[in-house]
Amino acid sequence: MSPKVRTYSMPICMVVGVLFHDHIGVLDFLSPYLIAAMLFVTFTRVKAKELRLERIHAGQLAIQLVGSVALYLALRWAGVNEIICQGAMICVFIPTAMASVVVGGMLGANVTTMTTFTLLSNMSVALVAPILFSFVGTHTDMPFLTSFWLVLRRLLLLVVLPFVVAQLLGRVAPKTFDYVREHQSWSFFLWLISLTILMSSTTNFILSQPSEYVGLEITMAVVAGVLCVGQFALGRWWGKRCGDKIAGGQSVGQKNTLLAILLAQSYLNPLSSVAPAAYIVWQNLINSFQLSRKK
């Protein structure tokens, strides 16, 4: 698929999801399965023995994990609305998008470096999110172990299981594994379907809110834009220090927003999902700009 088709298909799917939200939103129950299937296809590109940790990954992981918690605490200390704090936190905490490897490769980044961090980023969220959401979100009134298990169970199915199944398939049925690996476009189409459905469900949720929340939603959209630009810039700065500014920028800035919306709607105040929904628009604008400059 050409870069131009990829560039235009994303905003088209977002617009379709918004315009036909009444009809498409009913398919929201498919989102977790589509995300898991998308990750499975992408993980067939990854061989565990080829992965190696580098200096650049430590800084990227610190920005994602430490940065998200620090941002949340700083905003709460400043007296910012809790929903905005949660929306800002999830925009930083969510893992790197698998599609970032594709875009990074088009821009000239080291694909192996990006693939390693993408996997590391997703796995770290699977481990840290249950702890974080036990103290922040809708399950804070539950016993810690109960809350921890509720989140961990879902993330194990969403993130860890697709990786394990992909690696087992490579050992048990290498021909099937190679066939899936050669058809990475499936992952992109699954991503577009998931994007359309989640934009529809998010639109339904936003429209169901009282009118007094409009200002709050606009504020979160602006915050998401600032964080998006800031993370791309910070990632490029750190990547430049480590010898690959493009890999740094894409790995830190391009987020798995579909997973973020799902997590926000499930474990945080659902209205905080407006922030990652807006982040989708901002990061696609940045990616489109970068690809046009590259061409």
Q: What is the pLDDT of residues 19-70, one digit of tens each?
A: 888 888 888 788 778 878 887 887 787 766 666 778 889 999 999 999 999 9
Instruction: Give me the mean pLDDT over the 203-219 stretch.
Output: 82
Mean per-residue pLDDT over the chain, rounded: 82
- Judge whether residue 2 has pLDDT over 60: no
- Judge whether residue 206 has pLDDT over 60: yes
Q: Write down all domains in the chain, each with its CATH number in brackets.
A: 3-294 (1.20.1530.20)
What sign results for the dihedral spanned by CA atoms 287, 34, 50, 182?
Answer: negative
What sign results for the dihedral spanned by CA atoms 203, 204, 205, 209?
Answer: positive
Of all residues in the chain, the percent with pLDDT exceeding 90 is: 21
Q: CB under 8 Å, gap of 24 or more: what pairs does 160-164 form?
A: 160/123, 160/126, 161/36, 162/36, 162/37, 162/39, 162/40, 162/43, 163/39, 163/43, 163/46, 163/119, 163/123
158: closest CA among 260, 235, 251? 260
pLDDT for 146: 67
- Judge whether residue 85 has pLDDT over 70: yes
pLDDT for 221: 92
Instruction: Give me the mean pLDDT over the 226-242 stretch.
Output: 93
What tokens were used for 67? 């940065």
DSSP state of 183: -
Backbone φ and ψ of 94, nearest 5° = -60, 150
Instruction: Give me the mean pLDDT over the 244-273 stretch.
Output: 86
pLDDT for 230: 95
- Which residue did the predictor score with more confidence, 116 or 2? 116
- Judge whether residue 78 has pLDDT over 60: yes
